[in-house]
Amino acid sequence: MDLDIVQIPCVMDSPSAFSDDRVEVFNTPEATPVSGFGEKVGIPDTSDISVFDAVNYPSRGRSGNWKETGLQNFASLVSNRYSYLEGLLDLEPDWVSGGAVKPSSSAITLSQALLLYIRKKIISEELSLIPRIVMGPIPSGGIIVELHANDDNAINVTIANDDHVELEVQSGSYYFEVNLSENELIGTVTSQYASISR
């Protein structure tokens, strides 16, 4: 393996974050648990497709590099979000005007575990659509993680500081909420995401 071609990860946070001037995708062992580590991956013309479309819609006649590129960029996104969650430990008390409680270390750890499990399921192709991920602290103390399959299908996971977990699922016009234990979190979220992303 030639380590001279390893690059600084290129974090892609938005659906249209591909850059036309990039020729290679990062390859690092920490952020790229996909086959082909250490290989240069060319990025085709990206003017009309997002990172999510690159993996989610391979039937558009795109080259095989599209899927690998999309998976690598998703792995980078998850690594970035993982670090973001870690940084929430440093939030000041009353981090938003009007008062707020910073997320607990257990809420952050549960959120990170969820992200890593979703990454594992996407990379192994057990989940067919890469979710758009929106996340952040909530003023009452905890983390919210939103996983959007598309405009009509999403899952919102609220992890409170006391490890109370609330799951909201929207699938078209169908909507439901359920309370989960921390032990049920990962399996339930991934199975629900699999059902709304078909």
Q: What confidence tens digit (pLDDT) does each residue in 100-131 have?
A: 999 999 999 999 999 999 999 988 888 878 88
- C-beta separation of 87 from 94 below 8 A: no
- Note the pLDDT of residue 56: 53
- CATH code for residues 95-196: 3.10.450
CA distance 198 to 189: 15
Task: Classify residue 170 by burial, with Cβ atoms within 10 Å: 0-12, 13-18, 19+.
Answer: middle
Q: Where are the domains of the chain?
A: 1-90, 95-196
- Say if pTM beats, i.e. exceeds, 0.75: no
- Note the pLDDT of residue 109: 96
Q: What is the pLDDT of residues 12-23, one digit of tens each?
A: 443 434 434 333
Query: Could you give the angle at which helices 105-123 and 64-87 cross, rounded to 10 degrees?
Result: 170
Q: Is the pLDDT of residue 10 over 80?
A: no
